[in-house]
Structure 1
Amino acid sequence: MKSKTTYREVLKWASSFLETCKREPIAAELLLRERQDWSKTDIMMHLNDEIPSDVKHQLLKDVSDHGSGIPVQQIVGYGWFYDRKFKVTKDTLIPRPETEEIVDIFLKETRANQKLSVLDIGTGTGIIGITIKKERPLFDVTATDLSSKALKVAKENAEVLDADVRLLEGDLTEPVKSETFDVIISNPPYISNDEVRYMDESVLHYEPHLALFAENNGLAIYQRLAKETPAILNPGGKILLEIGFKQGKKVQELFQSAFPTANVTIEKDMSGNDRLIRVKTN
């Protein structure tokens, strides 16, 4: 590539390169915007400007890294969730739109003047618990995670975003087994080992398997939660669980058995896939 080039030329080359690597070409623009803290309008305004050499070299490196499989969020060091920036590392899952939908559902069912105790199980980067606390400041939010490395990232995110969330290290409900909550919400590991061959290599190589995979065809964590949560859920409380799109009926049966008098339903995401198990107790 010639030494003096415009943003347009570099983006055109970078997009083509990513396409040959079977990556989304739009990632080139996204990487540039994140590095420069630009909006789409900013990009349009600079397209015909000469790109500074340091900006060009950084973009080419980022594009090369993404072409090799490294997710955009890990290249820039953060991901967006509910219009907030969350630090991510190789020890945490990358925030995903499906999880954002679940938080949105929960927030629409609650009011800002309520006082509820909420438990976020397997918090990872802290996106669920921190977002709930920021959107509902009166809620008492606790979040747990088995991974000390993930919990360290969650603590950093809570500090940066000024979210007063209690973060506890431990396996599922173990750190809070003597407490009770009005709401339990979780995006647990639910991918079965049989599904590995269908997964994107960037997920397999750059996101923690501890947060992705579960035994018993992906149901092991749900089975444990169905046993543990009845003891810590307040009367009239509810549970919201993210699920794999093929797991709805089986997870529904697990929790209907655990909460015989509760209303246990399956809800779909915006793509029409089963995505959420909701348990509403009497």
Structure 2
Amino acid sequence: MRLDDFDPNSVNIGDQRGSGFSLGGTGGRVGCGSIVIALIAALVFGVDPGQMLGGAQDSGAGQVQTQGGTNATESCSVDAVSRESCNALSSLNKTWAPLFEAAKIPFTPPRLVFYSQMGRSGCGTAQSAMGPFYCPQDQSIYLDTDFYRELEQRLGAGGDFARNYVIAHEYGHHIQKLLGVADQVQSAQQSNPSQANPLQVAMELQADCYAGVWAGRNKDRIDQGDLEEGLNAAHSIGDDVLTKGQVAEASFTHGSAAQRMEWLRRGISTADEDQCDTFAAFKR
């Protein structure tokens, strides 16, 4: 995907790389298999970051952390993937801000926070095994770019558009926060626990659709093969694919591969955020 270089004055960037932060603790380390499971659980099943790390130990001890920057220009220039992420964030800001302005709804862009292995967020400790996530408490997207290696090598979803889709999906959760959808869903889940999972699925599928809307409004930047990369990524992180069909649909929290592909495709084809009402079934 051909995106313009970011304007350092138009992106809100935080950088915790090289901070040396670790969880500490006296227990044993988390094994590699557990880290992969944790990554999948947090990225795909919507696990609260704080709960995710409640009993975890520092699995990054002894590893050399990537050194971050002290401002947007430095942080976004650490490596090619950092720059790509900042370019995607800049494009997302440019796409969504006018839509909010037209609807006369206040818009505040999210912050993108880079970290390496361990970090801190408004939702608790961040760990690379969790994958990228959005924290509504501080309206920030947290990203350890090493995740993209896992995305390609372990989940079979490589390519720049697949990586951009990940950022755009988390940005979709920010849109939900600004629109009040996130708070409404949380309230509905608390008042009706039996619907907690279906409501979470609707949240995640809407974020997929919003990611598609961004892509659909930037079709002139899309290269041949990009859409296939995005749809492949959506398929690869479907609940049924990740669990190899061993988890009942009632326990899904992000949706099946077919659902994720359907809503991403709908966003791309319509480029219309009004077509992303994944909650229609709850309004009947």
- TM-score by structure 2 length? 0.31
Structure number with higher helix proportion: 2
The structure that is strand-richer by fraction is: 1
Higher radius of gyration, 1 or 2 = 1
Q: Which fold has the larger relative contact order, with Cα–Cα distance below 8 Å and residues 6 or more apart in sequence?
A: 2
Q: Normalized against structure 1, the TM-score is what?
A: 0.31
